[in-house]
Structure 1
Amino acid sequence: MLSRNLATWGFLLLALMAALYANQAQHPVWKEQSYLYETFHTADGRLMYRYQGEVLPVDGLVAYQDSPLRQVNLDRLQEEPAVKRQWVEKQDGQIMLLQADFHYGIWSLLPAFVTIALCLICREPIVALLAGIVTGAFLIGQFDIVDKVLIPSLGTQSAAAILVLYLWLLGGLTGIWAKTGAAQAFAQTMTRHFVRGPRSAKLVTWLLGAMFFQGGTISTVLVGTTVRPIADKAGVSHEELSYVVDSTASPIAVVLAFNAWPAYVQAFIFVPGVAFLATEADRIAFFFDSIPFSFYAILAVLGTLLMSLNIFTFSGKRLRKAHERAAKTGQLDAPSARPMSSGELHKVQVPAHYQANMWEFLLPLLLLLGIAVGTFMWLGSPKVNWAFGTALVVASAIALCKGMSLENLLDGFGDGLKSVVVASVVLMLAITIGGISKQIGGGLYLIDLLGETIPFWALPVILQLITMVIAFSTGTSWGTYAIAFPLAMPLAWMITQDQQLANPELYMAICFATVLNGSVYGDQCSPISDSTILSSMTTGCDLMDHVKSQLFPAGLAASAAALLWTCATFFAL
């Protein structure tokens, strides 16, 4: 422990010194960036453009050849350009916005590198993300971390929306379900009526994983704690059970994305001048349009279903041997295993006089799904806040009408908030480091370095591999999104333009899906991921037995997904 602490502090000190050195020694490299927007003339002849749903005037239009923001002029600069944004008109009449952006060369990747490296050293995502933020701030010469970096980032509308949805609505709803025992009553009803042996126990676990489609810790805790007693009685090995719980957590949340994921991810995928990513509604719609390309998530969920049906063709020898051991000897763990005890984790504390009913869970859940899917069909964008808000109100009203005291209800709500506080801190830090990565030009540097050299068909797999490594190292998919999307999406868009792909939106959707799914794979397989640890803990499985046994089926799904993504890119030609 002492050596790890020394390594952490030593590395952090070196990182901060490197950031300060880069701030003094590396001058910004200014690059011409051109963005196309929808422009039009109003009735009175004014030239206007649309930006994130707003109509704004085009001011100061000049000829492109006269603009100081052309690359040939930026290359002569010895200091910061006097003008950083300017509307220009080319000789063919095309109107675009020129912008002078900058990067610090390879130093622009320093915050991401520090974040990943520190996670490998200290295995604490919060420490790693905070260190990446401080390093990025020092790199741009900003030393007032709280007032000038954290508060402006967390004070945005998108950050507030994520906090309200994830902390208050989602956390509060799961807390009330736990207090009333509604989720457990539903799970117990399912298991009592459908479990007849190991196969049906695993199948019920898979179905519950699909029903609790919020992903991550919430799904693993709810499913793992409710099915373990029944699965143990049915003779399901702990390796199999923990794999089903883990592999139907985040992967199912990608496929059934009527949850907090689209609202969070959309904040990182805005690319100026890309019409189909212009507004928040556009970006959320883009998320849902990309779901058919989430090949890893789809294959992981299907592969888990096959194993639940005792079809081990794609599951690997570790899971198959665990199944055979449990069937022949009744031993649910390997002889050398050191199972993680679930202890009092999320122990249900239903008031003594209160009788839980499965409909207290099922009715709010159906309303949640109905509102999310209905608004998606009729409005083009799922109103997730409406869905969770309605489910929370209905769950609370049912509990009060059945006789639960307001004090007990608020206790449950508070417990739900507590259960997602740490995850919320990770989200807020992830938002901040994503903004800093954009500001210091990490994505711009990659475009400058790789944009003209990477074949279009190779980028998806490269992004998949990068995000797999980041998420495996950091133990968080959501933190990986904040690091990877601001780098990946501009690079993907640049390749569509440079290599003149006929269907850029399709290509962007494929690249988006590789980042999304590569991050899920790395998070799912990482031994320091909270969902991995909780999957082992709630099912009573040895942590490393769980990690090793799921590497083969998850790796097989990731390999097949890589092949499918590569083939799919040719449809963008």
Structure 2
Amino acid sequence: MKTKSNMKKTWLGMLFVVVLVATAMATTAFGGEAEAVEYTSNMYATAWSLVPPLVAIILALITKEVYSSLFIGIVVGGLFYANFDIKLAYLTIFTNSTDGGLLTNLSDSGNVGILIFLVILGIMVALMNKAGGSAAYGRWATKAIKTRKGALLSTFLLGVLVFVDDYFNCLTVGSVMRPVTDTHKVSRAKLAYIIDATAAPICIIAPISSWAAAVAGVVEGMNGLELFIRAIPYNFYALLSIVAMLTLTITNTDFGPMLEHERNAQLNNDLYTTEARPYAGADAEAEVVGNGKVIDLVLPVIVLIACCIIGMIYTGGFFAGESFVDAFANCDSPTGLLLGSVAALLITFVMYIPRRVLTFRQFMDCLPEGFKAMVPAIMILTFAWTLSGITGLLGADVFVASILESSTGVLQTLIPVIVFCIAVFLAFATGTSWGTFGILLPIVVPIMPVGSELLTITVAATLAGAVCGDHCSPISDTTIMASTGAQCDHINHVSTQLPYALTVAVVSAVNYVLAAAIQNWFINLPIAIISMVVVILVIRKIYGAKELPAE
């Protein structure tokens, strides 16, 4: 008999096939008419351009169902772009007649690299589960990490160590720490929050990361990496997200929907709380057939980290003579992750088969299992990329940029907080932090005095706002990755993280006003940290201490 979980996976697979068949049919039927032409929607660069992503986001939060919500948002965007011409809308959504369609996104080398990286990660997790490495690690970790607080802090520490790329961070930390947090009855929603709060926020303040490379690449006329490093102490949202997470963990505080998830996990041993649990039973379904040891999980993960770093610097020209930092600055992150993960999978094969941890047949059986586990993430990412692409066709970025340009005449001390709020909204609506600072930084940098502290603060506000909006958005790829890494229902992750992200955002906004007035990070950063801790303590006072079972 099929379980509810298996039926849902079958339904998702069928839906994905239907979408791909529709794409193929559209390409075949209209291929001759799908050539790119000069075309501008009547709604281009107007407030209407923000409606499709907002429709998808609002529907997802109301219905708690992300696939149909994203697809409806895509359809609305396609109709808007085509001025309600149904045939043109169909071509826009499903073919490569534009830069934002489904086929265009699925044929983009960077996107394909991320999808293959996802699948290989799923395969490696399936392998480690079947070999018994995950179970052995779980038994060891249960003895070594004796408290919930220790489990949460260990997850945070691993997230800090895996700082080179947010996608890699989300999936690796989730795979390694799930057995530990499950043992200590940490809800999947809380695990997803810890993963998300140590992915983008860590990467955006790490000088050696794919994010630093992306920022340095869009700043013209000055040393982008130097400006990025100077902006780190003013990147309040990233820094205060880490402060908030540590304060919440150390003081044992939760609030909003997260409080219900955590109480339910600890008192009722239910890690999911709601009926939406796409990954429930996934580990149980993965039969352990090998006598794996802790090294059979730890070594593949270490190899994966090393190979992905090597892959990234390889694409940046490190082995052609570039310095390590320059190689990161010029790297092709999706290609590097793909190369690294393939190498890690091959090395895992060499580790397992000769030692007879798994037979060749058992190893091969994990390939479709890993792919099946990643179907929800692949579906959401594909739809999210398409929605973001169509939003770009509608000129949402141009509309938001015009708002920023029109605000440059206001009092200079308000510029950083205005930029922060605009970046939050743009990243929330489009689901991309890279796209957000890629749009805003070329506008922000020229309007500020060259070399000034205010320029540094405003650049930091742009980066912070981009990460904040990305954190809050259900259509963000990193938010999707965090849900996947924690094996948490995506909407549960979004709804539980949102109050935390908004709390940090409000504190950050206030501190950007203060930073523009004081312009000294030695003073501003301690004020920001203290204010964040005080806010968390006030919230703890309002909600009261949680009633937890004795550990």
Which TM-score applies when normalising by structure 1?
0.59
| Pairwise CA distance, 1:219 | 5.9
Aligned pairs for 1:76-91 within 5 A: none
The letter of the residue matching 2:399 is: G
| Pairwise CA distance, 1:513 | 0.9
1:5 is aligned to none
Distance across 2 between alignment mates of 1:509 and 1:254: 12
Aligned residue pair count: 446
1:86 is aligned to none
Distance across 1 between alignment mates of 2:388 and 2:297: 39
The letter of the residue matching 1:115 is: P
1:492 is aligned to 444
Distance across 2 between alignment mates of 1:166 and 1:284: 25
1:557 is aligned to 504
Counting aligned pairs with the same residue, the percent is 15
- Correspondence for 1:516 among 437, 450, 466: 466
- Correspondence for 2:76 among 128, 131, 141: 131
8 Å CA contact 2:57, 2:474 repeated in 1 = no
Distance across 2 between alignment mates of 1:340 and 1:535: 16
Higher relative contact order (CA 8 A, sep 6+): 2
Aligned pairs for 1:118-157 within 5 A: 118-121=56-59, 124-129=69-74, 131-138=76-83, 145=92, 146-150=95-99
2:111 is aligned to 163
8 Å CA contact 2:416, 2:513 repeated in 1 = yes
| Pairwise CA distance, 1:429 | 2.1
Q: Structure 1 residues 258, 164: closer, same or farther in 2, change over 3 A?
A: farther
- Correspondence for 2:138 among 178, 184, 188: 188
Larger radius of gyration: 1
Aligned pairs for 1:416-427 within 5 A: 418=375, 420-426=377-383
Distance across 1 between alignment mates of 2:412 and 2:175: 45
| Pairwise CA distance, 1:315 | 5.5
The letter of the residue matching 2:153 is: L
1:366 partnered with 2:306: yes
**1:361-405: CA deviations, max 9, x gaps?**
112213434665786425461633346513431332331453163
Please, which moves more after superposition, 139-148 or 205-214? 139-148
Distance across 2 between alignment mates of 1:516 and 1:452: 19
| Pairwise CA distance, 1:115 | 2.4
2:421 is aligned to 465
Distance across 2 between alignment mates of 1:325 and 1:359: 34
8 Å CA contact 1:125, 1:426 repeated in 2 = yes
1:83 is aligned to none
Q: Structure 1 residues 240, 471: closer, same or farther in 2, change over 3 A?
A: same
Aligned pairs for 1:409-448 within 5 A: 410-411=367-368, 414-415=371-372, 418=375, 420-426=377-383, 428-429=385-386, 432-433=389-390, 435-437=392-394, 441-443=398-400, 445-446=402-403
Distance across 2 between alignment mates of 1:401 and 1:325: 40
Tell me, what secondary structure is at the counterpart of 2:281?
A: coil
Distance across 1 between alignment mates of 2:475 and 2:391: 23
Aligned pairs for 1:116-515 within 5 A: 116-121=54-59, 124-129=69-74, 131-138=76-83, 145=92, 146-150=95-99, 160-181=108-129, 184=134, 188=138, 191-210=141-160, 227=177, 230-231=180-181, 233-234=183-184, 241=191, 243-255=193-205, 270=218, 274-276=220-222, 291-308=232-249, 310-312=250-252, 330=267, 338=274, 341=277, 342-345=279-282, 349=286, 352-353=289-290, 355=292, 356-369=296-309, 372=312, 376-377=324-325, 379=327, 381=329, 383=331, 384=333, 385-386=335-336, 388-403=338-353, 405=360, 407-408=364-365, 410-411=367-368, 414-415=371-372, 418=375, 420-426=377-383, 428-429=385-386, 432-433=389-390, 435-437=392-394, 441-443=398-400, 445-446=402-403, 450-469=406-425, 477-478=431-432, 482=435, 484-485=436-437, 488-493=440-445, 495-496=447-448, 502=452, 506=456, 509-515=459-465
Tell me, what secondary structure is at the counterpart of 2:466?
A: helix
The letter of the residue matching 1:304 is: M
Q: Structure 1 residues 420, 159: closer, same or farther in 2, change over 3 A?
A: same
**1:322-342: CA deviations, max 9, x gaps?**
989998xx55679x9647544
Greater per-residue strand proportion: 1
**1:454-503: CA deviations, max 9, x gaps?**
3333233234334545666x6x732x654x45653454246327xx8846
Q: State the superposition RMSD in angstroms.
A: 5.3
8 Å CA contact 1:215, 1:251 repeated in 2 = no
Q: Structure 1 residues 390, 331: closer, same or farther in 2, change over 3 A?
A: closer
| Pairwise CA distance, 1:195 | 1.2
1:63 is aligned to none
| Pairwise CA distance, 1:149 | 1.4
Q: Structure 1 residues 113, 288: closer, same or farther in 2, change over 3 A?
A: farther
Q: What runs of 5+ residues in structure 2 fail to find an aligned partner?
A: 1-39, 61-65, 354-358, 521-551
Distance across 2 between alignment mates of 1:437 and 1:289: 35
Distance across 1 between alignment mates of 2:453 and 2:134: 47
Distance across 1 between alignment mates of 2:377 and 2:490: 23
| Pairwise CA distance, 1:266 | 6.3
Tell me, what secondary structure is at the counterpart of 1:457?
A: helix
Distance across 2 between alignment mates of 1:230 and 1:444: 45
Tell me, what secondary structure is at the counterpart of 2:146?
A: coil
The letter of the residue matching 1:558 is: A
8 Å CA contact 1:216, 1:249 repeated in 2 = yes
| Pairwise CA distance, 1:436 | 2.4
| Pairwise CA distance, 1:425 | 1.6
8 Å CA contact 1:133, 1:432 repeated in 2 = no
Q: Structure 1 residues 347, 258: closer, same or farther in 2, change over 3 A?
A: farther
8 Å CA contact 1:175, 1:415 repeated in 2 = no
Tell me, what secondary structure is at the counterpart of 2:127?
A: helix
| Pairwise CA distance, 1:359 | 0.6
8 Å CA contact 2:381, 2:480 repeated in 1 = no
Which TM-score applies when normalising by structure 2?
0.61
